[in-house]
């Protein structure tokens, strides 16, 4: 059964304190791993797609990496505006996205 | 501006009432999806459609119905058979048809449904 587990559930950082969010997955025939950002009361905003182990993508203070079992979202020198819930999802051979429960990130000034 | 528009933003349902949530996209995407989001849970798939006039049940389709008469539109009806409808409903679309690599889904800003 395809499964996605995100950790930690919640993360509090001081502004400028770098850290990483984890997404562990099991999937049959990985077609893609997706990272999203979700603000309260809004829909998820697409950030990255990763397709194969060793792939990395970057956008401003965010960098996503992928291995055969997990993905990390690294946040370098975060700012308060990076506070949000970050969602990870995988798409396997059966075609539908399987979402994790998310990591709620709070960045204090 | 291309995107997905969901309406209304807030909706209230009375006992025994059916309500319909609207979803329109101008991204020219073939595939459209409906998800339900509850606190502390991941997004769960209700229905999806890969092409006009065709749709499939997701993991939690009971108590819901959909139609796909136009490429741009994928309305969701929450029927009176859905006993616990209070949730945040999200519509998404992707250019999935004919691709072997997974394509990202793009989401609207959701409809929050509550029981009166």
CA distances from B55 to B1, B3, B38, B67, B108 (A): 27, 21, 23, 8, 19
Closest by Cα among B37, B82, B73, B32 to B55: B32
d(CA A46, CA B4): 13
pLDDT in the model for residue B96: 73
- What pLDDT sits at residue B16? 86
Identify which of A41, A42, A100 has the shortest CB distance to residue B42: A100
Beta bridge pairs of residue B1: none
CB-based contact, A4 to chain B, within 8 Å: yes
Residue B67 neighbours by CB distance under 10 Å: 15
Q: Are the Cβ atoms of B105 and A46 closer than 8 angstroms?
A: yes
State the DSSP code for B73.
B
Determine the Cα–Cα distance for residues B56 and B33; give it in Å rounded to an integer.
10
Distance CA B10, CA B85 (A): 13
Select from B15, B105, B19, B18 the least CA-distant residue to B58: B105
pLDDT for position B7: 97
Q: What is the pLDDT of residues A34-60, one digit of tens each?
A: 999 999 999 999 999 999 999 999 999
The CA radius of gyration of chain A, in Å to the nearest whole number, is: 13
Contacts of B96 in chain A (CB under 8 A): 95
Q: What is the pLDDT of residues A52-103, one digit of tens each?
A: 999 999 999 999 999 999 999 999 999 999 999 999 999 998 888 999 999 9
């Amino acid at each position: 059964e395809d499964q996605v587990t995100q950790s930690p559930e919640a993360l509090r950082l001081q502004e400028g304190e770098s850290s990483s969010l984890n997404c562990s997955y099991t999937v049959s025939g990985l077609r893609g791993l997706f990272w999203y950002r979700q603000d309260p009361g809004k829909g998820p905003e697409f950030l990255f797609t990763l397709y194969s182990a060793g792939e990395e993508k970057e956008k401003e203070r965010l960098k996503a990496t992928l291995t055969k079992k997990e993905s990390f979202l690294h946040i370098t020198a975060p700012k308060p505006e990076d506070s949000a819930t970050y969602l990870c999802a995988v798409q396997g051979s059966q075609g539908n996205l399987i979402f994790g429960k998310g990591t709620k990130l709070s960045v204090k000034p | 501006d291309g995107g997905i528009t969901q309406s209304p933003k807030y909706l209230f349902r009375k006992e025994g009432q059916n309500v319909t949530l609207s979803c329109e996209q101008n991204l020219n995407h073939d595939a459209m999806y409906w998800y339900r989001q509850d606190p502390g849970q991941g997004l769960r798939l209700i229905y999806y459609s890969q092409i006009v006039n065709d749709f499939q049940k997701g993991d939690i389709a009971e108590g819901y119905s959909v139609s796909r008469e136009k490429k741009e539109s994928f309305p969701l009806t929450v029927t009176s058979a859905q006993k616990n409808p209070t949730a945040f409903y999200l519509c998404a679309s992707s250019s999935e048809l004919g691709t072997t690599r997974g394509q990202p889904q793009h989401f609207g800003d959701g409809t929050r449904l509550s029981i009166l």
